[in-house]
Amino acid sequence: MDDLNIKALRALSHCPMSADQLAEVLKISPGQSRELLHKLNPLLTVEASDAGAAFRLNAGMATVGVVDFSEARVLLLLSDLGGRVLARTSLPRAFIITESVLFETLNRLEALLNEQAVAELSALVLAVPGEIAPDSGRLIRSSRFADPENLDLEALFSERFRCPVLLKNDIRLAVEGELRYGNIQSAENALMICFNASLGSAIMLGGQVYTGTHGLAGQLEHLLVNITDDNEPGSLAYCLSVPGMVKRANKELEKYPDSLLHKLKDEDGVHTQDLCRGYLQNDPLCERIVHRAGKILANLIFNLGMFLDINTVVLNGDITGFGDKFLDYVRSVMPGSVLPIRVSYSGLKGRAAAVGGIQTAAEAAQAQLLNQAAR
């Protein structure tokens, strides 16, 4: 669907509108509005109002689904065409998605459909961390899945549910979610960075997620920078990811006998929650490690902000555990710029990819239903 159709259906999912009211919202002429409503008619219901006929998206005419693999607990959602969540469930924590976890996901999603008496899905979106080949739509690299190169997620889910299955990068979906309901609603150009097992990122330019020539644009984790302690090249993923910080904390802990981490760690060593707690309590070792990453991040934001004229940066994932103290530090050490750059945490936090997935699935189903009606 084109952008105008999407904007119209989003507006009509919130409240009924007359042709004149929709024209005012979309900033088009009343004549264009009436033509648009005629085109979208298969997806609409008509209600009586003081202004005459009022049109609303018939959100209940189809159901879509989302499986969000971005968090440790796989999240499953069902939604109507308007983006209203009908049901949700999640799986136990699984840091690596194995074959058994995938089959449990299939079975839980089928059970969720049966519980809601939903006969079929009109579209299903899979939010996956990693790189997706733009030509085949298959996952080609991911630290989240076991043997991702030999995994055909689209075929696996479409065979079970007999509906269009869309494989989408989780960070790009998170940008879509933030654009709709989060902290980049008013931004035209933005960068989102997610700090979980690795470093995920996506760029939005001109209100659209930028994918680049090969569909892999915006991925910062592979960038090599000469910023490691031993003065050898290192990747941003190693320097900025929270697991990388935890690894350095365990490595350097013996040098800090008075560190709070000695009391917080267990037999397996320091964990993410320990580093966050120590940092918030001003532990010197934790501050040294986290602030080192903060300086790298501040320079990265400045460089990309100047290069791409980005004025909004949203951070998500485990990094949010460092609280406002970390944000304040990043802002304080960022090089001066004539261009203001707003840095914040995600407004949707762990729900961003799922929210973006719901919107993407709904739009895919809407387009399919319109095409069927036009035949």
Are residues 250 and 118 located together in one domain of the fold?
no
Please tell me the predicted confidence (pLDDT) of residue 175.
92
Q: What is the pLDDT of residue 165?
A: 96
Q: Tell me, what CATH number does 264's domain have?
A: 3.30.420.40
Is the C-alpha dihedral spanning 215, 160, 360, 94 positive or negative? negative
Domain count, the chain: 3
Cα distance between residue 21 and residue 24, in whole Å: 5
The per-residue pLDDT for 233 is: 47
For residues 104 and 206, state if they share a domain. Answer: no
pTM summary value? 0.88
With respect to residue 108, please indicate whether it lies within any of the assigned structural domains. Answer: yes
Same domain, 206 and 342: yes
Q: Distance (Å, rounded) from C-alpha 30 to C-alpha 198?
A: 49
Per-residue 3-state assignment (H helix, E strand, C coil) for 150-208: HCCHHHHHHHHHCCCEEEEEHHHHHHHHHHHHCCCCCCCCEEEEEECCCEEEEEEECCE
What local confidence, expressed as pLDDT, does residue 51 receive? 64
- Together in a domain, 297 and 309: yes
Does residue 331 sit in the same domain as residue 231? yes
What is the model's pLDDT at position 124? 98
> Residues 24, 42: one domain?
yes
Same domain as 53, residue 66:
no
180 in any annotated domain: no
User: Would you state the pLDDT for residue 199?
Assistant: 84
Identify the pLDDT of residue 208.
87
Clarify whether residues 292 and 248 are in a common domain: yes
Q: What is the pLDDT along the chain (375 residues), one digit of tens a residue?
A: 788 999 999 999 988 999 999 999 999 999 999 999 999 999 999 987 776 789 999 999 999 999 999 988 999 999 999 999 999 999 999 989 999 999 999 999 999 999 999 999 999 999 999 888 877 888 888 888 988 888 999 999 999 999 999 999 999 999 999 988 888 988 889 999 998 877 889 999 988 888 887 777 888 877 766 554 554 446 787 788 898 899 999 999 999 999 999 999 999 999 999 999 999 999 999 999 999 999 999 999 999 888 988 989 999 999 999 999 999 999 999 987 667 899 999 989 889 999 999 999 999 999 999 998 877
Domain boundary among 57, 78, 103: 57
Kindly state whether residues 295 and 368 are assigned to the same domain. Answer: no
Q: Give the per-residue pLDDT at 324.
A: 96
* Boundaries of domain holding 48: 3-57
Residue 80 lies in a domain: yes
Structure tokens at 176: 């879509």
Residues 289, 193, single domain; the answer is yes
